[in-house]
Amino acid sequence: MFLKRIEIQGFKSFADKTDIELSGGITCVVGPNGSGKSNISDAIRWVLGEQSAKTLRGSKMEDVIFSGTSRRKPLGFAEVTLVFDNKDGSLPIDYSEVCITRRLFRSGESEYYINKNSCRLKDIRELFMDTGVGKDGYSIIGQGRIDEILSSKSEDRRNIFEEAAGIVKFKTRKEESEKK
Ligand code: ATP
Ligand code: MG
């Protein structure tokens, strides 16, 4: 499985629809300060269900919607789609290409989709469980996260190993059934 395309529209500095094609291997994003490099990784975290505006470097979730410039009006919604190549079947879903979309309106209304079918955030979380992808997965290592991992509590470190070992879904199911 690998991320093959990111489609961004109305998210932070990406007012116009922008498609970023990624081939396998390593992709580097370079550009001057403030040109939107970190906004791309924020967009990825956001689709995967990040609920903390602070983690996305804002003060409220609405801050992810393009807020306008002196020459351009603010937009009413933000939408990001991640397209994964799933030819190897890493994601437990019967599609060789999997699109995950999140849309947020200024009214606060939020929508999630898997392959254009409306779904819950929980469905997206479950789809990526144990793959290392996900808002808390180890596939996104932000600035300072290495320090955090090294110095964090042993339980937090354990979560990282459990995700890598592929047992998070069993643990989550056990916790859910214990709650019932
Ligand atoms: P650096 O090299 O300094 O890390 P960067 O390329 O990572 O820079 P970003 O932090 O991704 O830059 O982009 C910051 C830019 O995004 C700022 O110019 C900011 O005004 C713009 N921006 C952030 N949120 C919004 C928004 N909601 N609407 C419009 N522009 C936004
Ligand atoms: Mg940056």
* Topology (CATH) of 2-120: Rossmann fold (3.40.50)
Place of tokens 């320090």: 147
> Hey, how many other C-beta atoms are within 10 angstroms of the C-beta on 136?
15
Residues in CB range of 96: below 8 A, 6 or more apart: 85, 86, 87
Distance (Å, rounded) from C-alpha 149 to C-alpha 147? 5
Counting ligand 1 atoms within 8 A of each CB, the residue from 39, 41, 42, 54 with the most, and so the one to mutate, is 39
Q: Can you give the residue ranges of every domain in the chain?
A: 2-120
165 CA distance to ligand 1 middle (Å): 36
12-18: average pLDDT: 98
Residues with CB under 5 A from ligand 2 (ion): 37-38
pLDDT interval class at 9 (50, 70, 90) = very high
Instruction: Work out the pLDDT band at 11, boundaries 50, 70, 90.
Output: very high
User: Binning pLDDT at 50, 70 and 90, where does residue 137 land?
Assistant: confident
d(CA 19, CA 160): 31
* ipTM score assigned to the predicted complex: 0.98
Q: From atom 21 of ligand 1, which residue's Cα is the shortest distance away?
A: 13
pLDDT value of residue 28: 93
State in Å: Cα 39 to ligand 1 middle.
6
Within 6 Å (CB) of ligand 1, which residues are found? 12-13, 31, 33-39, 63, 65-67
Indicate the pLDDT class of residue 60, thresholds 50, 70 and 90. Answer: very high
HEC string of 139-175?
CCCCCCHHHHHHHCCHHHHHHHHHHHHCCHHHHHHHH
Burial of 66 (0-12, 13-18, 19+ CB in 10 A): buried
pLDDT digits (tens, 9 = 90+) for 39-51: 999 999 999 999 9
- Measured in angstroms, how far is the CA atom of residue 36 from the centroid of ligand 1? 5
Calculate how far, in angstroms, residue 56's C-alpha sits from the geometric centre of ligand 2: 12
Nearest-ligand number for the alpha carbon of 57: 1
**Among the atoms of ligand 1, which is closest to the Cα of residue 35?**
6
Closest among 77, 96, 80 to 88, alpha carbons compared: 96
> What phi-psi label fits residue 53: left (phi over 0), alpha (psi between -120 and 50 degrees) or beta?
alpha
**Residue list, annotated binding site for ATP:** 32-39
Q: pTM of the full predicted structure?
A: 0.90
